[in-house]
Amino acid sequence: MKITIPATSANIGPGFDSVGVAVSKYLTITILAPSTKWEVHHNLENIPRDERNLLIKTALKVKPDLLPHKIDMVSDIPLARGLGSSSSVIVAGIELANQLGNLGLSNQDKLDLATQIEGHPDNVAPALFGNLVVASYTGEQVTSVVVPFPECAFVAFIPNYELKTSDSRHVLPATFDYSEAVKASSIANLAVSALLVGDLTKAGRAIEADLFHERFRQQLVAEFAPIKAEAHKIGAYATYLSGAGPTVMTLIAKDYVVPFVERLSQLHLDGEIEVLNLDTKGLVVTR
């Protein structure tokens, strides 16, 4: 049995901790034979291969008495780069428990569990459902809306360094002035509304006008400003930090992808440029 989970790009500008989209990089978990102990086979550096692995820790939180198995884990989602690597493992761990424990969890059950473990739904929701997901978590209940994302390409610049979410959160302010919060909320409302109606031009302007987090975090990612400048020159819709960064994501018409990638290549930045597509399936279990 295989469990496949997509990468995710969260926040999308002002949708802080509540908006995310699934994109075409994947974590695949293959459940092999039962064993006397948990064994997770992978080629990732500094990641545990036993019950300390986040996949197994998550599964055992859901059902502590699961029978140990051998597991193959393959992922092309880079760690600590703002593409939902930990969220994909959490969602996979919940599904691992669901399958091995015959729990019959509903999609809402899975979302509730994943959000409780992760702390917010912006990555785990699109990892579960695919597409664009707008979600709210009050500490007790998770409510989500799944919608298509407007037609475009996602051009990701993935730096060759990690940026942990905890470090990225340290630069955020502890409080917001009331009038500033209202302004930031109005920008977020416009961004989401424009995405819902497929107006990427208006959405892009609102995405780049975020007041909640990007103006504080962009200083941590030196590549952001030059990439955004090139994106503007070629007419891209928007450039934003994916999640907490450091991946820089650009929304762009598919006709402009090749020349934009060429422009980025000429900047000689230290990282990888990848052209991604929308994932519309989310969690997939193959028997």
Q: Is 179 within any annotated ligand binding site?
A: no
Q: Is 236 within any annotated ligand binding site?
A: no
- State how far the Cα of 100 lies from the Cα of 67, in Å rounded to an integer: 8
Say if CB 189 and CB 105 are below 8 A apart.
no
Listed residue (127, 162, 134) closest to 24, CA to CA = 127
Q: Is 206 within any annotated ligand binding site?
A: no
Give me the tens of pLDDT residue by residue for the chain, a chain 287 residues long: 999 999 999 999 999 999 999 999 999 999 999 999 999 999 888 899 999 999 999 999 999 999 999 999 999 999 989 999 999 999 999 999 999 999 999 999 999 999 999 999 999 999 999 999 999 998 888 999 999 999 999 999 999 998 877 778 889 999 999 999 999 999 999 999 999 999 999 999 999 999 999 999 998 999 999 999 999 999 999 999 999 999 999 999 999 999 999 999 999 999 999 999 999 999 999 99
Say if CB 24 and CB 276 are below 8 A apart.
yes
Q: Is 82 within any annotated ligand binding site?
A: yes
Token pair, residue 224, equals: 């952001």
Residue 3 β-bridge partners = 29, 285
Is beta strand 142-147 parallel, antiparallel or unpaired with respect to 39-41?
A: unpaired
Task: Spell out the alpha helix ranges (H) of the chain.
Answer: 54-62, 85-100, 107-118, 124-129, 165-169, 178-196, 200-207, 214-217, 224-234, 257-265
Q: Is 18 within any annotated ligand binding site?
A: no
Give the CA distances from residue 286 to residues 27, 62, 206, in Å, rounded to whole numbers and listed in that order: 13, 21, 39
Q: Is 88 within any annotated ligand binding site?
A: yes
Q: Is 34 within any annotated ligand binding site?
A: no
Q: Is 78 within any annotated ligand binding site?
A: yes
Q: Is 193 within any annotated ligand binding site?
A: no
